[in-house]
Amino acid sequence: MCTRILWTGKVGDKSSSVCGRNMDWGFDMEEKLWVFPAGLKRKSDVKGKFIGWVSKYGSIAASVYDQGTSDGMNEKGLAIHANWLTESYYGERDESKPGLDGNRGLQYFLDNFATVREVVEHLEKNKDLQFVPTKIKKGNGEQEVQCHLAMEDAQGESVIIEYLKNGDSVERDIYYSGDILNYSMQYNVLTNSPPFKEQLLNLQKYEGFGGELDLPGTTAAADRFVRGVFYLKSLPEPANQREAIAGVLSVMRSTAQPFRVPDSGAYASSTRWRTVAALTEKLYLYESSLYPTLIWLDAKKLDFKEGSGVRVFDLAKNREAIGDVSEKLTPAEDLFGNNVSTDSLHLYVRTHIS
């Protein structure tokens, strides 16, 4: 239902990191692009002990249904993406543990961390941090969000995080590029089911990765994973940043899901939109499947200083926009400022972030 691809390499004599993401869903997602400055006070929306923080970094975020961040990049070049994973398991809520809800989970990392290493170190120091799933609109109903996360940074480091069921317990698996011996290209790709460890094993069945099977062509997540790795490793060295972005976009389009009638049932996922985060250049691009023209925001040109204000660009109302849309941003209230439930404790708890 989603695909993430990270390319790292050289553009001229400089290292570069460019990440692409397809957002696959069965319905319009009412997406918007947000610019959040530093200095915003926020807290997680959970029962029991919550987390409070003040945003350290400004960020560009893509929201869905005015509900939460689903994708984004901060001013330091840390990017994050949530991909659906049916096997995700978060366990019962333990109200004595600090909880981080799904709507604010991605934004928490964008607000507080500059690199993947900082994220991993924070998670290792705060193992009692509990991820609390929320529900997302799905047609005329809603469904509990089940996701694994991918993050990458301007230095080219990457991490994939999954929460899975292990007996009666929650198993948190972290695949961090800095900890993996013989780190290779397949760790830079993420789709959906099955969990990441099984995706890596399945890849070994195919020619070029130890097996004899030909490149698969269906829209199944396991097939998209194989194609993503294959085409990613086949990309030519770019002559400039434009070619680096174009190369990533070409891989994203090869792993996209076309609009289609469901084979059975009443739901079929298709690629609604995609983003590309040029992390070294701090450029965030968006492309709709309905109006395939690129728009972008350049983080180097945006004001993220405390007090500069929250700004938004409504993508659903501006489908035909093209190019840099920074001049079309409009002032807005914080996406997370008015949707804290009464189930939260009326106590502001600031976590220590190191």
User: Is 2 a residue of the active site?
Assistant: yes
Catalytic residue from among 1, 2, 82, 149: 2
**DSSP tag of 198:** H
Q: Which residues contact 267 (CB under 8 A, 6 or more apart)?
A: 26, 138, 139
Q: How far apart are CA 129 and CA 63, in angstroms?
A: 23
User: Residue type at 18?
Assistant: V
Which two three-digit tokens encode residue 159?
């991490």
In whole angstroms, how far apart are CA 27 and each of 65, 135, 136, 226, 285? 11, 15, 12, 26, 21
Helix (H) or strand (E) holding 81: strand 79-84
Helix (H) or strand (E) holding 136: strand 135-138
With b for 16 or more beta-carbon neighbours within 10 A and e for fewer, the 177-186 pattern comes to beeeeeeebb
Residues 225/191, Cβ–Cβ less than 8 Å: yes
Q: Treating both helix axes as pointing N-terminal to C-terminal, what angle do 221-233 and 241-254 enclose, rounded to 10 degrees?
A: 150
User: Residue 85's closest CA among 172, 210, 16?
Assistant: 172
User: Residue 52's closest CA among 60, 40, 70?
Assistant: 40
Helix (H) or strand (E) holding 220: none
- Tracing tokens 């993503």 back to the chain, one arrives at 228
Is it true that the peptide bond before 238 is cis, omega within 30 degrees of 0?
Answer: no
Which two three-digit tokens encode residue 337?
């400022």
Question: Hey, which residues are catalytic here?
Answer: 2
